[in-house]
């Protein structure tokens, strides 16, 4: 039996249990730092397979590690799993028209129900391989909470949980099958609070000092700042507390969240400090007091080319998910559910990526049926962010993309929630499990790949993890 045949059998024998776990986590749809049932389910499945589970990793109640060691010595490999949902994206599974399970409730609009269980299946298949072939090695499943919130992986890396790990693999649901060829930008988020003085807005406005005015002036200042930052940078904001609903009361408090993105950590920190100066200026103009609390920060993700070259071969051997005609019809229904403007943008993107001559064929059967090659050379930055980047600064790390939704799918939408709970998400996660497990065993069996991956990692990072967060920032559980 080849290693691929072994891995396929190891994943397939647990297919029913893995898909049941995915469906249950999809139904739980728990928000960041609140994934109590999802985390407990994954932990129990790992315990039953002989993994040693450590709960509340890095002080985060729903984060954990699960370790299985066979023999003494050998490589130490990590597999990352996520399982949190997004607010307001509830949607019935497999339903291509807007129909929430519970209106306003969370939903798995990024497919993390698939991500966590697919990674789990991979860890169990690797465990089977170690036992069957008596290979001294260690596999660690990292239960990573709150990727959609303030994250967990940077806190786990700061706590040393990736120290001594030789390599780490993970995956993410996508509309393509590929080793992720792009980098993700760094991000820092903070709560900015303004404190003023209440007063009667009609009778004694001169005695009031408006915290809401300060927040709005901050927005104006940041809007002007946007002209004077690098093209790849982004600044986002959301009002959390406008100071009340009575217009005849001068607002004495306000809170606005800001997030700053840039390709590299130092660029992100520099831009964040400029945002802080804008907030200080807004407070000065309004004679209010400002304080801010950094709540999250992720490092940029950069793929490890050494691992990528090996993983590309593994993905091509595993192949794309085995779609049937029902899957193609479902994917087409989801693609056609987007509004006309979004659908037109998707069509333009498909034509640019696949060629205009393939557009109509793809629109008719919009599921990726191939594994795309990994491009050589420098990798461009996309504008998204993930705490997987911090793992990449702590150990050689690689992310795979596996098709689990229609080509052109827009993430963080009800459409993704519906697909994550359908056959599309299920077939994607099983394929991802096989690819991840095969990557692990092939890397484990090749000391030269491990050595070169470490060399590449050390050349980029210096071999030392530096957390983008200040040392005194703790996981904002219950405060994010």
Measure the CA–CA gap between 442 and 449, rounded to whole angstroms: 9
User: What pLDDT shows up at residue 376?
Assistant: 84
> What is the pLDDT confidence band of residue 331, given thresholds at 50, 70 and 90?
very high
pLDDT beyond 80 at 480: no
Count of beta carbons in the 10 Å neighbourhood of residue 12: 15
Same domain, 200 and 279: yes
Instruction: Tell whether 264 is covered by a domain.
Output: yes
Same domain, 286 and 306: no
User: What pLDDT shows up at residue 347?
Assistant: 97
| Mean pLDDT, range 460-480, rounded to an integer | 92
Tens digit of each residue's pLDDT (9 = 90 or more) over 259-295: 999 999 999 999 999 999 999 999 999 999 999 999 9
User: What pLDDT shows up at residue 272?
Assistant: 98
pLDDT beyond 90 at 219: yes
pLDDT beyond 80 at 430: yes
Q: Which CATH number belongs to the domain containing residue 85 in this structure? A: 3.40.630.10
Same domain, 158 and 30: yes
pLDDT beyond 90 at 428: yes
pLDDT beyond 80 at 308: yes
Same domain, 58 and 36: yes
Instruction: Tell whether 477 is covered by a domain.
Output: no
> What is the pLDDT confidence band of residue 460, given thresholds at 50, 70 and 90?
very high
| Mean pLDDT, range 367-385, rounded to an integer | 93
Tens digit of each residue's pLDDT (9 = 90 or more) over 94-116: 999 999 999 999 999 999 999 99
Measure the CA–CA gap between 250 and 286, rounded to whole angstroms: 12
Name the residue with higher pLDDT: 415 or 384. Answer: 415
Same domain, 113 and 202: no
Same domain, 314 and 272: no
Same domain, 127 and 243: no
Instruction: Tell whether 286 is covered by a domain.
Output: yes
Tens digit of each residue's pLDDT (9 = 90 or more) over 186-213: 999 999 999 999 999 999 999 999 999 9
Instruction: Write out the two tokens for 28.
Output: 């739980």
Same domain, 307 and 265: no
Distances (CA, A) of 429 to 243, 303, 410, 423: 45, 21, 18, 10
Same domain, 31 and 113: yes
User: What pLDDT shows up at residue 203?
Assistant: 96
Instruction: Tell whether 421 is covered by a domain.
Output: yes
> What is the pLDDT confidence band of residue 185, given thresholds at 50, 70 and 90?
very high
Helices 36-48 & 112-133 angle (0-180, nearest 10): 10
Same domain, 177 and 204: no
Instruction: Tell whether 69 is covered by a domain.
Output: yes
pLDDT averaged over the chain?
97
User: What pLDDT shows up at residue 479?
Assistant: 82
Instruction: Tell whether 83 is covered by a domain.
Output: yes
Q: Which domain holds residue 282?
A: 186-297
User: What pLDDT shows up at residue 383?
Assistant: 86
Residue where a domain stops, chosen among 297, 319, 337: 297
Q: Which CATH number belongs to the domain containing residue 218 in this structure? A: 3.30.70.360
Residue where a domain stops, chosen among 297, 318, 337: 297
Measure the CA–CA gap between 272 and 172, rounded to whole angstroms: 28
Domain count, the chain: 2
> What is the pLDDT confidence band of residue 84, given thresholds at 50, 70 and 90?
very high
Instruction: Tell whether 471 is covered by a domain.
Output: no
User: What pLDDT shows up at residue 175?
Assistant: 98
Same domain, 312 and 450: yes
Instruction: Write out the two tokens for 207.
Output: 């005695």
Same domain, 130 and 274: no
pLDDT beyond 80 at 158: yes
Residue where a domain stops, chosen among 241, 275, 297: 297
Instruction: Tell whether 13 is covered by a domain.
Output: yes
């Amino acid at each position: 039996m080849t290693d691929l045949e072994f891995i396929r059998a190891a994943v397939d024998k647990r297919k029913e249990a893995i898909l049941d776990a995915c469906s249950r986590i999809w139904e739980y749809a728990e928000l960041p730092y609140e994934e109590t049932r999802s985390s407990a389910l994954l932990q129990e499945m790992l315990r039953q397979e002989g993994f040693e589970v450590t709960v509340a990793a890095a002080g985060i109640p729903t984060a954990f590690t699960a370790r299985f060691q066979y023999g003494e010595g050998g490589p130490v490999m990590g597999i990352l799993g996520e399982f949190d949902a997004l607010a307001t994206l509830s949607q019935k599974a497999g339903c291509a028209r807007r129909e929430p399970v519970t209106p306003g409730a969370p939903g798995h609009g990024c497919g993390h129900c698939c991500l966590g269980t697919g990674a789990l299946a991979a860890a169990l298949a690797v465990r089977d391989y170690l036992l069957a072939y008596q290979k001294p090695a260690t596999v660690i499943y990292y239960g990573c909470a709150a990727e959609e919130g303030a994250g967990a992986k940077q806190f786990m890396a700061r706590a040393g949980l990736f120290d001594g790990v030789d390599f780490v693999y993970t995956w993410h649901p996508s509309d393509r099958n590929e080793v992720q060829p792009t980098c993700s930008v760094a991000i820092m988020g903070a709560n900015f609070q303004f404190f003023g003085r209440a007063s009667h807005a009609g009778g004694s406005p001169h005695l009031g000092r408006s915290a809401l005015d300060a927040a709005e002036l901050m927005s104006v200042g940041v809007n002007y700042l946007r002209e004077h930052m690098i093209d790849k940078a982004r600044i986002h904001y959301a009002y959390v507390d406008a100071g009340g609903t009575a217009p005849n009361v001068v607002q004495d408090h306000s809170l606005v969240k800001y997030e700053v993105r840039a390709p590299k950590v130092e660029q992100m920190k520099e831009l964040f400090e400029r945002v802080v100066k804008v907030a200080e200026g807004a407070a000065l103009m309004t004679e209010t007091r400002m304080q801010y609390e950094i709540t999250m920060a992720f490092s940029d993700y950069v793929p490890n080319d050494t691992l990528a070259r090996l993983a590309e071969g593994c993905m091509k051997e595993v192949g794309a998910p085995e779609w049937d005609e029902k899957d193609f019809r479902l994917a087409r229904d989801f693609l056609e559910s987007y509004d006309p403007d979004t659908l037109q943008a998707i069509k333009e993107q498909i034509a640019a990526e696949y060629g205009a001559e393939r557009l109509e064929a793809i629109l008719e059967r919009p599921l990726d049926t191939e594994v795309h090659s990994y491009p050589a050379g420098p990798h461009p930055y996309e504008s998204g962010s993930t705490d997987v980047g911090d793992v990449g600064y702590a150990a050689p790390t690689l992310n795979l993309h596996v098709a689990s939704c229609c080509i052109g799918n827009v993430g963080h939408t009800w459409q993704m929630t519906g697909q994550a709970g359908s056959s599309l998400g299920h077939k994607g996660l099983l394929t991802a499990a096989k690819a991840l497990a095969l990557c692990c065993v092939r890397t484990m069996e090749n000391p030269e790949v491990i050595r070169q991956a470490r060399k590449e990692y050390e050349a980029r990072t210096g071999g030392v993890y530096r957390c983008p967060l200040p040392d005194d920032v703790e996981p904002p559980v219950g405060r994010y």
